[in-house]
A = this chain, B = another copy of it.
Amino acid sequence: MSSEASQPEQQGDESKSASKKAAKKEAAKLEKERRRQEAAALAASASNFSIEEDPLAANYGDVPLPELQSKAPVDTGNWTEVGALSEALKDQRVLVRGRSQTIRSVSKNMAFLVVREKGFTVQCVVTAIPDVVSRQMVKYVSGLSRESIVDVEGIVSVPKDAIKGATQQVEVQVRKLYCVNAALPTLPINVEDAARSEVEIDKALQAGEQLVRVNQDTRLNNRVIDMRTPANQGIFRIQCQVGTIFRQFLLSEGFVEIHTPKLIAGSSEGGAAVFKLDYKGQPACLAQSPQLHKQMAICGDFGRVFEIGPVFRAEDSYTHRHLCEFTGLDVEMEIKEHYFEVMDIVDRLFVAMFDSLNKNCEKQLEAIRKQYPFEPLKYLRNTLRLTFEEGVQMLKDAGVEVDPLGDLNTESERKLGQLVLEKYGTEFYILHRYPLVVRPFYTMPCYDNPAYSNSFDVFIRGEEIISGAQRVHVPEFLAERAQACGIDVKTISPYIDSFRYGAPPHGGFGVGLERVVMLFCGLNNIRKTSLFPRDPLRLAP
Protein backbone atom coordinates (compact mmCIF):
# COMPACT_ATOMS: atom_id res chain seq x y z
CA MET A 1 0.00 0.00 0.00
CA SER A 2 1.35 3.36 -1.00
CA SER A 3 0.32 4.96 2.24
CA GLU A 4 2.58 2.60 4.09
CA ALA A 5 5.48 3.39 1.83
CA SER A 6 5.25 7.00 2.90
CA GLN A 7 4.77 6.13 6.53
CA PRO A 8 8.44 5.93 7.65
CA GLU A 9 9.01 9.49 6.49
CA GLN A 10 6.01 10.64 8.44
CA GLN A 11 7.04 8.68 11.50
CA GLY A 12 10.53 10.12 11.14
CA ASP A 13 9.08 13.59 11.37
CA GLU A 14 7.07 12.49 14.35
CA SER A 15 9.97 11.08 16.36
CA LYS A 16 12.23 14.01 15.47
CA SER A 17 9.85 16.31 17.22
CA ALA A 18 8.89 13.86 19.96
CA SER A 19 11.39 15.18 22.48
CA LYS A 20 10.31 18.76 21.93
CA LYS A 21 6.68 17.84 22.38
CA ALA A 22 6.63 17.35 26.13
CA ALA A 23 8.43 20.61 26.76
CA LYS A 24 6.16 22.38 24.31
CA LYS A 25 3.07 20.96 25.97
CA GLU A 26 4.16 22.17 29.38
CA ALA A 27 4.98 25.64 28.03
CA ALA A 28 1.65 25.75 26.26
CA LYS A 29 -0.13 24.82 29.46
CA LEU A 30 1.54 27.61 31.40
CA GLU A 31 0.94 30.08 28.60
CA LYS A 32 -2.69 29.03 28.45
CA GLU A 33 -3.16 29.52 32.16
CA ARG A 34 -1.51 32.94 31.97
CA ARG A 35 -3.76 34.00 29.12
CA ARG A 36 -6.84 32.70 30.85
CA GLN A 37 -6.00 34.67 33.96
CA GLU A 38 -5.32 37.73 31.86
CA ALA A 39 -8.61 37.38 30.07
CA ALA A 40 -10.55 36.70 33.23
CA ALA A 41 -8.97 39.70 34.86
CA LEU A 42 -9.93 41.75 31.84
CA ALA A 43 -13.48 40.48 31.99
CA ALA A 44 -13.72 41.01 35.70
CA SER A 45 -12.39 44.54 35.42
CA ALA A 46 -15.14 45.30 32.95
CA SER A 47 -17.83 43.97 35.27
CA ASN A 48 -19.11 45.18 38.60
CA PHE A 49 -16.11 43.96 40.54
CA SER A 50 -12.98 45.88 39.76
CA ILE A 51 -9.62 44.17 40.05
CA GLU A 52 -8.75 46.56 42.91
CA GLU A 53 -11.71 45.31 44.88
CA ASP A 54 -10.88 41.63 44.45
CA PRO A 55 -7.34 40.33 44.20
CA LEU A 56 -8.84 36.92 43.32
CA ALA A 57 -10.79 38.31 40.33
CA ALA A 58 -8.87 36.13 37.88
CA ASN A 59 -10.59 33.04 39.27
CA TYR A 60 -14.02 33.80 37.83
CA GLY A 61 -15.89 35.88 35.28
CA ASP A 62 -17.24 35.82 31.76
CA VAL A 63 -14.84 34.34 29.23
CA PRO A 64 -14.25 36.92 26.50
CA LEU A 65 -14.89 35.76 22.93
CA PRO A 66 -11.29 35.62 21.66
CA GLU A 67 -10.57 32.96 24.28
CA LEU A 68 -13.23 30.80 22.60
CA GLN A 69 -11.98 31.24 19.06
CA SER A 70 -9.58 28.28 19.18
CA LYS A 71 -6.88 30.39 20.77
CA ALA A 72 -5.61 27.80 23.24
CA PRO A 73 -3.73 24.77 22.02
CA VAL A 74 -5.74 21.55 22.08
CA ASP A 75 -5.48 19.65 25.32
CA THR A 76 -8.78 17.94 25.94
CA GLY A 77 -7.09 15.69 28.50
CA ASN A 78 -7.66 18.48 31.02
CA TRP A 79 -11.38 17.89 31.05
CA THR A 80 -13.49 15.53 33.09
CA GLU A 81 -17.05 14.66 32.07
CA VAL A 82 -19.70 15.27 34.72
CA GLY A 83 -20.85 11.67 34.26
CA ALA A 84 -17.34 10.49 35.18
CA LEU A 85 -17.19 12.30 38.53
CA SER A 86 -17.06 9.70 41.27
CA GLU A 87 -15.49 8.89 44.64
CA ALA A 88 -12.43 7.61 42.81
CA LEU A 89 -11.54 11.24 42.09
CA LYS A 90 -11.78 12.33 45.75
CA ASP A 91 -9.47 15.27 46.58
CA GLN A 92 -8.43 15.64 42.97
CA ARG A 93 -8.68 18.88 41.03
CA VAL A 94 -11.04 18.59 38.06
CA LEU A 95 -12.19 20.82 35.25
CA VAL A 96 -15.71 20.35 33.87
CA ARG A 97 -17.86 22.17 31.34
CA GLY A 98 -21.60 22.07 31.60
CA ARG A 99 -24.75 24.04 32.14
CA SER A 100 -25.70 25.92 35.27
CA GLN A 101 -28.89 23.96 35.81
CA THR A 102 -29.82 25.54 39.15
CA ILE A 103 -28.13 28.24 41.18
CA ARG A 104 -28.90 28.69 44.85
CA SER A 105 -27.39 31.49 46.90
CA VAL A 106 -27.26 30.48 50.57
CA SER A 107 -25.48 33.48 52.00
CA LYS A 108 -22.87 36.06 51.06
CA ASN A 109 -20.33 33.35 51.68
CA MET A 110 -21.89 30.39 49.97
CA ALA A 111 -23.71 29.34 46.83
CA PHE A 112 -24.68 26.01 45.28
CA LEU A 113 -24.64 25.35 41.59
CA VAL A 114 -25.86 22.19 39.92
CA VAL A 115 -23.92 21.65 36.71
CA ARG A 116 -25.37 19.38 34.01
CA GLU A 117 -23.58 17.72 31.11
CA LYS A 118 -25.21 15.16 28.78
CA GLY A 119 -27.95 14.44 31.34
CA PHE A 120 -25.55 13.96 34.27
CA THR A 121 -25.53 16.50 37.08
CA VAL A 122 -23.12 17.38 39.86
CA GLN A 123 -23.48 19.71 42.83
CA CYS A 124 -20.80 22.41 42.94
CA VAL A 125 -20.20 24.33 46.14
CA VAL A 126 -18.81 27.87 46.11
CA THR A 127 -17.66 28.83 49.58
CA ALA A 128 -15.76 32.00 50.37
CA ILE A 129 -12.30 31.06 51.67
CA PRO A 130 -9.74 33.77 52.45
CA ASP A 131 -7.08 34.02 49.72
CA VAL A 132 -8.75 31.22 47.72
CA VAL A 133 -12.37 32.06 46.91
CA SER A 134 -13.63 35.62 47.31
CA ARG A 135 -17.08 36.81 48.37
CA GLN A 136 -17.27 38.56 45.02
CA MET A 137 -16.93 35.20 43.34
CA VAL A 138 -19.82 33.83 45.40
CA LYS A 139 -21.83 36.86 44.28
CA TYR A 140 -20.82 36.34 40.65
CA VAL A 141 -21.94 32.72 40.74
CA SER A 142 -25.22 33.64 42.45
CA GLY A 143 -25.94 36.01 39.58
CA LEU A 144 -25.45 33.48 36.77
CA SER A 145 -28.46 32.75 34.59
CA ARG A 146 -29.76 29.20 34.40
CA GLU A 147 -28.71 27.07 31.41
CA SER A 148 -25.55 29.11 30.84
CA ILE A 149 -22.44 27.20 29.79
CA VAL A 150 -19.84 27.29 32.56
CA ASP A 151 -16.32 25.98 33.13
CA VAL A 152 -15.86 24.85 36.72
CA GLU A 153 -12.52 24.01 38.29
CA GLY A 154 -12.48 22.56 41.78
CA ILE A 155 -11.71 19.77 44.20
CA VAL A 156 -13.84 16.63 44.33
CA SER A 157 -15.26 15.93 47.76
CA VAL A 158 -17.51 13.20 49.13
CA PRO A 159 -20.33 14.37 51.39
CA LYS A 160 -21.61 12.18 54.23
CA ASP A 161 -25.20 12.10 53.06
CA ALA A 162 -26.55 11.00 49.72
CA ILE A 163 -27.05 13.84 47.25
CA LYS A 164 -30.64 14.09 46.09
CA GLY A 165 -30.52 16.96 43.63
CA ALA A 166 -27.85 15.55 41.32
CA THR A 167 -26.97 12.29 39.60
CA GLN A 168 -23.34 12.21 40.79
CA GLN A 169 -22.67 11.29 44.40
CA VAL A 170 -19.73 13.66 44.84
CA GLU A 171 -19.47 17.43 45.10
CA VAL A 172 -17.05 19.86 43.52
CA GLN A 173 -15.56 22.46 45.87
CA VAL A 174 -15.20 25.26 43.36
CA ARG A 175 -11.91 27.14 42.99
CA LYS A 176 -12.48 28.79 39.63
CA LEU A 177 -15.61 29.37 37.62
CA TYR A 178 -15.98 31.03 34.24
CA CYS A 179 -19.09 31.64 32.20
CA VAL A 180 -18.41 30.49 28.64
CA ASN A 181 -21.78 31.47 27.23
CA ALA A 182 -24.60 33.14 29.13
CA ALA A 183 -28.22 32.14 28.60
CA LEU A 184 -30.90 34.83 28.58
CA PRO A 185 -31.92 35.58 32.18
CA THR A 186 -35.52 34.60 31.36
CA LEU A 187 -35.99 31.50 29.24
CA PRO A 188 -39.16 30.82 27.21
CA ILE A 189 -39.50 27.52 29.08
CA ASN A 190 -37.60 26.09 32.01
CA VAL A 191 -36.00 22.68 31.68
CA GLU A 192 -37.34 21.83 35.13
CA ASP A 193 -40.90 22.59 34.03
CA ALA A 194 -40.47 20.75 30.75
CA ALA A 195 -39.14 17.69 32.60
CA ARG A 196 -42.08 17.46 34.99
CA SER A 197 -44.39 14.45 34.81
CA GLU A 198 -48.17 14.65 34.79
CA VAL A 199 -48.14 12.56 37.95
CA GLU A 200 -46.03 15.18 39.70
CA ILE A 201 -48.28 18.01 38.54
CA ASP A 202 -51.41 16.18 39.70
CA LYS A 203 -49.87 15.30 43.03
CA ALA A 204 -48.91 18.93 43.64
CA LEU A 205 -52.38 20.04 42.62
CA GLN A 206 -53.90 17.75 45.24
CA ALA A 207 -51.59 19.37 47.76
CA GLY A 208 -52.90 22.75 46.65
CA GLU A 209 -49.82 23.72 44.65
CA GLN A 210 -49.99 24.74 41.00
CA LEU A 211 -46.93 23.64 39.00
CA VAL A 212 -46.21 24.81 35.48
CA ARG A 213 -47.32 22.41 32.75
CA VAL A 214 -45.54 22.99 29.42
CA ASN A 215 -47.81 22.01 26.55
CA GLN A 216 -46.69 20.21 23.43
CA ASP A 217 -46.67 23.19 21.09
CA THR A 218 -44.70 25.35 23.48
CA ARG A 219 -42.18 22.54 23.84
CA LEU A 220 -41.80 22.13 20.12
CA ASN A 221 -41.55 25.88 19.55
CA ASN A 222 -38.65 25.87 22.00
CA ARG A 223 -37.23 22.50 21.07
CA VAL A 224 -33.63 23.61 21.77
CA ILE A 225 -34.49 23.86 25.47
CA ASP A 226 -37.08 21.06 25.51
CA MET A 227 -34.48 18.63 24.13
CA ARG A 228 -32.47 19.01 27.31
CA THR A 229 -34.94 17.18 29.56
CA PRO A 230 -33.80 13.75 30.76
CA ALA A 231 -36.77 12.12 28.98
CA ASN A 232 -35.89 13.70 25.65
CA GLN A 233 -32.22 12.90 26.05
CA GLY A 234 -33.38 9.30 26.56
CA ILE A 235 -35.89 9.24 23.70
CA PHE A 236 -33.43 10.35 21.03
CA ARG A 237 -30.66 8.12 22.28
CA ILE A 238 -33.13 5.22 22.06
CA GLN A 239 -34.04 6.34 18.55
CA CYS A 240 -30.34 6.21 17.67
CA GLN A 241 -30.11 2.74 19.16
CA VAL A 242 -33.12 1.48 17.17
CA GLY A 243 -31.44 2.64 13.96
CA THR A 244 -28.16 1.09 15.01
CA ILE A 245 -29.65 -2.33 15.77
CA PHE A 246 -31.73 -2.24 12.60
CA ARG A 247 -28.55 -1.71 10.60
CA GLN A 248 -26.31 -4.09 12.47
CA PHE A 249 -28.82 -6.92 12.28
CA LEU A 250 -29.45 -6.48 8.56
CA LEU A 251 -25.76 -6.08 7.71
CA SER A 252 -25.07 -9.32 9.57
CA GLU A 253 -27.76 -11.01 7.42
CA GLY A 254 -26.12 -9.97 4.17
CA PHE A 255 -28.20 -6.86 3.42
CA VAL A 256 -26.65 -3.89 1.60
CA GLU A 257 -27.52 -0.33 2.63
CA ILE A 258 -28.65 1.81 -0.28
CA HIS A 259 -29.64 5.45 -0.79
CA THR A 260 -32.47 6.06 -3.21
CA PRO A 261 -33.56 9.46 -4.54
CA LYS A 262 -36.19 11.49 -2.75
CA LEU A 263 -36.76 13.67 -5.80
CA ILE A 264 -38.76 11.73 -8.36
CA ALA A 265 -40.43 12.55 -11.65
CA GLY A 266 -44.20 12.82 -11.79
CA SER A 267 -46.01 11.54 -8.72
CA SER A 268 -45.08 8.62 -6.48
CA GLU A 269 -46.82 5.24 -6.67
CA GLY A 270 -49.70 4.54 -4.34
CA GLY A 271 -52.54 6.70 -3.18
CA ALA A 272 -51.13 9.02 -0.53
CA ALA A 273 -50.90 12.71 -1.28
CA VAL A 274 -47.48 13.91 -2.38
CA PHE A 275 -45.51 17.13 -2.07
CA LYS A 276 -45.08 18.51 -5.57
CA LEU A 277 -42.31 20.75 -6.79
CA ASP A 278 -40.73 22.15 -9.88
CA TYR A 279 -37.48 20.40 -10.83
CA LYS A 280 -35.67 22.54 -13.37
CA GLY A 281 -38.90 22.98 -15.30
CA GLN A 282 -40.04 19.36 -14.88
CA PRO A 283 -42.90 18.35 -12.59
CA ALA A 284 -41.51 16.37 -9.67
CA CYS A 285 -42.52 15.18 -6.24
CA LEU A 286 -40.99 13.95 -3.02
CA ALA A 287 -40.85 10.18 -2.65
CA GLN A 288 -43.51 8.88 -0.29
CA SER A 289 -41.56 5.65 -0.01
CA PRO A 290 -38.47 4.13 -1.62
CA GLN A 291 -40.72 1.33 -2.96
CA LEU A 292 -39.85 1.50 -6.65
CA HIS A 293 -36.15 2.09 -6.16
CA LYS A 294 -35.59 -0.58 -3.57
CA GLN A 295 -37.35 -3.06 -5.86
CA MET A 296 -35.09 -1.89 -8.69
CA ALA A 297 -32.08 -2.61 -6.49
CA ILE A 298 -33.37 -6.17 -6.14
CA CYS A 299 -33.78 -6.43 -9.92
CA GLY A 300 -30.23 -5.03 -10.05
CA ASP A 301 -28.87 -8.10 -8.22
CA PHE A 302 -28.24 -6.70 -4.75
CA GLY A 303 -30.19 -9.61 -3.30
CA ARG A 304 -31.09 -7.95 -0.01
CA VAL A 305 -31.16 -4.20 0.59
CA PHE A 306 -32.24 -1.72 3.21
CA GLU A 307 -32.50 2.04 3.50
CA ILE A 308 -32.90 4.52 6.32
CA GLY A 309 -34.16 7.85 5.09
CA PRO A 310 -36.87 10.47 5.10
CA VAL A 311 -40.31 9.67 3.74
CA PHE A 312 -42.72 12.43 2.78
CA ARG A 313 -46.51 12.32 3.09
CA ALA A 314 -48.61 15.37 2.26
CA GLU A 315 -51.68 13.89 3.95
CA ASP A 316 -53.93 16.07 6.08
CA SER A 317 -53.65 13.80 9.10
CA TYR A 318 -53.94 15.45 12.46
CA THR A 319 -53.61 12.29 14.55
CA HIS A 320 -51.21 11.34 17.34
CA ARG A 321 -49.41 8.98 14.96
CA HIS A 322 -49.04 10.70 11.59
CA LEU A 323 -46.30 13.04 10.41
CA CYS A 324 -45.73 14.72 7.05
CA GLU A 325 -42.07 13.72 7.19
CA PHE A 326 -40.73 10.73 9.04
CA THR A 327 -37.78 8.38 8.99
CA GLY A 328 -38.48 5.23 7.04
CA LEU A 329 -36.64 1.98 7.72
CA ASP A 330 -37.09 0.07 4.49
CA VAL A 331 -36.16 -3.47 3.58
CA GLU A 332 -36.42 -5.43 0.34
CA MET A 333 -35.15 -8.94 -0.34
CA GLU A 334 -35.28 -11.81 -2.76
CA ILE A 335 -37.48 -14.62 -1.55
CA LYS A 336 -36.94 -18.19 -2.57
CA GLU A 337 -40.33 -19.67 -1.86
CA HIS A 338 -42.55 -17.79 0.56
CA TYR A 339 -43.32 -14.37 2.00
CA PHE A 340 -42.76 -15.94 5.41
CA GLU A 341 -39.04 -15.47 4.65
CA VAL A 342 -39.64 -11.73 4.96
CA MET A 343 -41.70 -12.20 8.12
CA ASP A 344 -38.88 -14.30 9.58
CA ILE A 345 -36.52 -11.32 9.18
CA VAL A 346 -39.06 -9.00 10.84
CA ASP A 347 -39.49 -11.48 13.67
CA ARG A 348 -35.81 -11.98 14.45
CA LEU A 349 -34.90 -8.33 13.83
CA PHE A 350 -37.44 -6.92 16.24
CA VAL A 351 -36.95 -9.47 18.98
CA ALA A 352 -33.21 -8.70 18.79
CA MET A 353 -34.01 -4.98 18.87
CA PHE A 354 -36.30 -5.17 21.91
CA ASP A 355 -33.82 -7.38 23.74
CA SER A 356 -31.01 -4.95 23.04
CA LEU A 357 -33.00 -1.87 24.06
CA ASN A 358 -34.01 -3.48 27.35
CA LYS A 359 -30.47 -4.60 27.99
CA ASN A 360 -28.41 -1.62 26.83
CA CYS A 361 -30.67 1.38 27.32
CA GLU A 362 -31.80 0.92 30.92
CA LYS A 363 -30.79 4.44 31.94
CA GLN A 364 -32.56 6.02 29.00
CA LEU A 365 -35.72 3.97 29.52
CA GLU A 366 -35.70 4.90 33.19
CA ALA A 367 -35.36 8.60 32.32
CA ILE A 368 -38.32 8.38 29.95
CA ARG A 369 -40.42 6.37 32.39
CA LYS A 370 -39.84 8.93 35.10
CA GLN A 371 -41.62 11.60 33.08
CA TYR A 372 -43.91 9.37 31.01
CA PRO A 373 -44.67 6.19 33.00
CA PHE A 374 -45.04 3.04 30.88
CA GLU A 375 -44.95 -0.73 31.24
CA PRO A 376 -42.15 -2.67 29.49
CA LEU A 377 -43.29 -4.11 26.18
CA LYS A 378 -44.56 -7.67 26.34
CA TYR A 379 -43.23 -9.78 23.47
CA LEU A 380 -42.57 -13.44 22.77
CA ARG A 381 -39.35 -15.21 21.81
CA ASN A 382 -41.04 -16.29 18.59
CA THR A 383 -43.36 -13.60 17.35
CA LEU A 384 -47.04 -14.55 17.16
CA ARG A 385 -48.43 -14.76 13.64
CA LEU A 386 -52.15 -14.59 13.00
CA THR A 387 -53.90 -14.52 9.66
CA PHE A 388 -56.21 -11.64 8.95
CA GLU A 389 -59.07 -14.14 8.98
CA GLU A 390 -58.09 -15.32 12.45
CA GLY A 391 -57.93 -11.72 13.59
CA VAL A 392 -61.38 -10.99 12.21
CA GLN A 393 -62.70 -14.10 13.94
CA MET A 394 -61.22 -13.02 17.27
CA LEU A 395 -62.89 -9.65 16.91
CA LYS A 396 -66.17 -11.32 15.93
CA ASP A 397 -65.99 -13.62 18.94
CA ALA A 398 -65.57 -10.51 21.07
CA GLY A 399 -68.64 -8.94 19.51
CA VAL A 400 -66.84 -6.60 17.12
CA GLU A 401 -68.12 -6.91 13.57
CA VAL A 402 -65.67 -5.94 10.85
CA ASP A 403 -65.73 -6.35 7.09
CA PRO A 404 -63.83 -9.64 6.51
CA LEU A 405 -62.49 -8.26 3.22
CA GLY A 406 -62.01 -4.67 4.31
CA ASP A 407 -59.26 -3.00 6.32
CA LEU A 408 -59.19 -2.70 10.09
CA ASN A 409 -59.69 0.81 11.39
CA THR A 410 -57.61 2.21 14.23
CA GLU A 411 -60.24 1.23 16.78
CA SER A 412 -60.45 -2.41 15.62
CA GLU A 413 -56.67 -2.62 15.57
CA ARG A 414 -56.55 -1.45 19.17
CA LYS A 415 -59.27 -3.88 20.17
CA LEU A 416 -57.49 -6.76 18.45
CA GLY A 417 -54.30 -5.75 20.25
CA GLN A 418 -56.14 -6.13 23.56
CA LEU A 419 -57.58 -9.50 22.62
CA VAL A 420 -54.19 -10.77 21.48
CA LEU A 421 -52.57 -9.57 24.70
CA GLU A 422 -55.19 -11.36 26.78
CA LYS A 423 -55.01 -14.58 24.80
CA TYR A 424 -51.33 -14.80 23.89
CA GLY A 425 -49.61 -12.48 26.37
CA THR A 426 -47.87 -10.39 23.72
CA GLU A 427 -48.10 -6.77 22.61
CA PHE A 428 -46.07 -7.45 19.47
CA TYR A 429 -47.49 -9.64 16.72
CA ILE A 430 -47.83 -10.08 12.98
CA LEU A 431 -51.15 -10.11 11.14
CA HIS A 432 -50.84 -11.56 7.63
CA ARG A 433 -52.84 -12.60 4.56
CA TYR A 434 -54.64 -9.25 4.32
CA PRO A 435 -57.50 -8.85 1.87
CA LEU A 436 -56.03 -7.95 -1.52
CA VAL A 437 -58.25 -4.91 -2.06
CA VAL A 438 -56.83 -3.03 0.92
CA ARG A 439 -53.21 -3.40 -0.23
CA PRO A 440 -51.26 -1.57 -2.97
CA PHE A 441 -51.53 -2.91 -6.52
CA TYR A 442 -48.02 -4.37 -6.44
CA THR A 443 -48.93 -6.80 -3.66
CA MET A 444 -48.84 -10.48 -4.62
CA PRO A 445 -52.24 -12.20 -4.28
CA CYS A 446 -52.41 -15.52 -2.43
CA TYR A 447 -52.01 -18.56 -4.66
CA ASP A 448 -55.09 -20.25 -3.26
CA ASN A 449 -57.48 -17.33 -2.97
CA PRO A 450 -57.02 -14.09 -4.89
CA ALA A 451 -59.24 -12.24 -2.41
CA TYR A 452 -56.29 -12.38 -0.01
CA SER A 453 -52.69 -11.33 -0.43
CA ASN A 454 -49.19 -12.37 0.64
CA SER A 455 -48.95 -9.37 2.91
CA PHE A 456 -48.66 -8.47 6.56
CA ASP A 457 -48.81 -5.69 9.10
CA VAL A 458 -46.99 -5.70 12.41
CA PHE A 459 -48.39 -4.21 15.59
CA ILE A 460 -46.98 -2.89 18.84
CA ARG A 461 -49.43 -2.12 21.64
CA GLY A 462 -52.32 -2.25 19.19
CA GLU A 463 -50.84 0.15 16.65
CA GLU A 464 -49.37 -0.63 13.25
CA ILE A 465 -45.65 -0.01 12.84
CA ILE A 466 -44.74 -2.14 9.83
CA SER A 467 -46.33 -2.96 6.50
CA GLY A 468 -44.87 -5.62 4.27
CA ALA A 469 -45.59 -8.09 1.48
CA GLN A 470 -44.43 -10.23 -1.35
CA ARG A 471 -44.44 -8.09 -4.53
CA VAL A 472 -45.70 -8.94 -7.99
CA HIS A 473 -42.49 -9.51 -9.97
CA VAL A 474 -44.09 -10.54 -13.28
CA PRO A 475 -44.47 -7.43 -15.46
CA GLU A 476 -47.59 -8.54 -17.34
CA PHE A 477 -49.38 -9.46 -14.12
CA LEU A 478 -48.22 -6.22 -12.50
CA ALA A 479 -49.80 -4.22 -15.34
CA GLU A 480 -52.98 -6.27 -14.95
CA ARG A 481 -53.09 -5.58 -11.22
CA ALA A 482 -52.47 -1.86 -11.71
CA GLN A 483 -55.29 -1.69 -14.22
CA ALA A 484 -57.60 -3.57 -11.87
CA CYS A 485 -56.80 -0.96 -9.23
CA GLY A 486 -57.74 1.86 -11.58
CA ILE A 487 -54.18 3.04 -12.23
CA ASP A 488 -53.27 4.30 -15.68
CA VAL A 489 -50.57 1.80 -16.64
CA LYS A 490 -48.84 4.33 -18.88
CA THR A 491 -48.01 6.54 -15.88
CA ILE A 492 -46.13 3.72 -14.17
CA SER A 493 -44.47 2.13 -17.17
CA PRO A 494 -40.88 2.77 -15.92
CA TYR A 495 -41.84 0.84 -12.78
CA ILE A 496 -43.30 -2.07 -14.72
CA ASP A 497 -40.43 -2.10 -17.21
CA SER A 498 -37.96 -2.66 -14.37
CA PHE A 499 -39.23 -6.23 -14.17
CA ARG A 500 -38.83 -7.06 -17.85
CA TYR A 501 -35.14 -7.97 -17.69
CA GLY A 502 -35.43 -10.89 -15.32
CA ALA A 503 -36.91 -10.25 -11.87
CA PRO A 504 -36.53 -12.60 -8.93
CA PRO A 505 -39.48 -13.21 -6.60
CA HIS A 506 -39.08 -10.73 -3.76
CA GLY A 507 -40.72 -8.98 -0.87
CA GLY A 508 -40.03 -6.40 1.79
CA PHE A 509 -41.39 -4.12 4.40
CA GLY A 510 -41.29 -0.56 5.72
CA VAL A 511 -41.11 0.61 9.31
CA GLY A 512 -41.65 4.06 10.76
CA LEU A 513 -38.73 4.78 13.10
CA GLU A 514 -40.66 7.35 15.15
CA ARG A 515 -43.55 4.90 15.63
CA VAL A 516 -41.28 2.14 16.86
CA VAL A 517 -39.77 4.44 19.49
CA MET A 518 -43.16 5.90 20.43
CA LEU A 519 -44.80 2.51 20.91
CA PHE A 520 -41.87 0.72 22.50
CA CYS A 521 -41.80 3.51 25.10
CA GLY A 522 -45.58 3.68 25.37
CA LEU A 523 -45.62 7.38 24.46
CA ASN A 524 -48.88 9.00 23.44
CA ASN A 525 -47.74 11.19 20.56
CA ILE A 526 -45.37 10.72 17.65
CA ARG A 527 -44.26 14.36 17.99
CA LYS A 528 -42.40 13.22 21.10
CA THR A 529 -40.16 10.92 19.04
CA SER A 530 -39.37 13.24 16.14
CA LEU A 531 -36.61 15.72 16.87
CA PHE A 532 -38.24 18.40 14.69
CA PRO A 533 -41.70 17.10 13.76
CA ARG A 534 -43.48 18.15 10.58
CA ASP A 535 -47.26 17.95 10.47
CA PRO A 536 -49.87 19.86 8.44
CA LEU A 537 -49.62 22.75 10.91
CA ARG A 538 -45.94 22.64 11.79
CA LEU A 539 -42.96 23.42 9.55
CA ALA A 540 -40.69 24.90 12.25
CA PRO A 541 -38.28 25.06 13.86
Measured CB to CB, the residues of A under 8 A from B are 1-3, 5-7, 9-11, 14, 65-76, 78-79, 97, 99-100, 116-119, 145, 147-149, 180-184, 187-188, 223-228, 232-233, 236-237, 239-240, 243-244, 247, 251, 256-265, 275-280, 282, 284, 286, 293, 296-297, 299-303, 308-310, 312, 314, 316, 324-325, 327, 334-341, 344, 354, 358, 375-382, 424-426, 444-448, 454, 470, 473-474, 477, 494, 498-505, 513, 530-532, 534, 536-537, 539-541
Contacts and interface: CB of A to CB of B under 8 A. Distances in A.
Given A65-B477, A539-B263, A3 B377 contact: yes
Given A147-B502, A293-B532, A296-B541, A236 B258 contact: yes
Contacts of A119: 301
A498 B540 CA distance: 12
Given A3-B377, A74-B337, A500-B183, A382 B14 contact: yes
Contact of A473 (B181, B225, B302, B336): B181
Contacts of A501: 147, 183-184, 187-188, 224-225
A426 B2 CA distance: 9
A79 B336 contact: yes
Contacts of A72: 337-338
Copies of this chain, count: 2
Given A301-B227, A447-B69, A541-B296, A74 B338 contact: yes
Contacts of A337: 70, 72-76
B69 A1 contact: no
A456 to B, nearest CB: 11
Contacts of A73: 337-338
A336 B7 CA distance: 30
A236 B263 contact: no
B339 A378 contact: no
Contact of A531 (B116, B259, B284): B259
A378 B237 contact: no
Nearest to A14: B382
A282 B74 contact: no
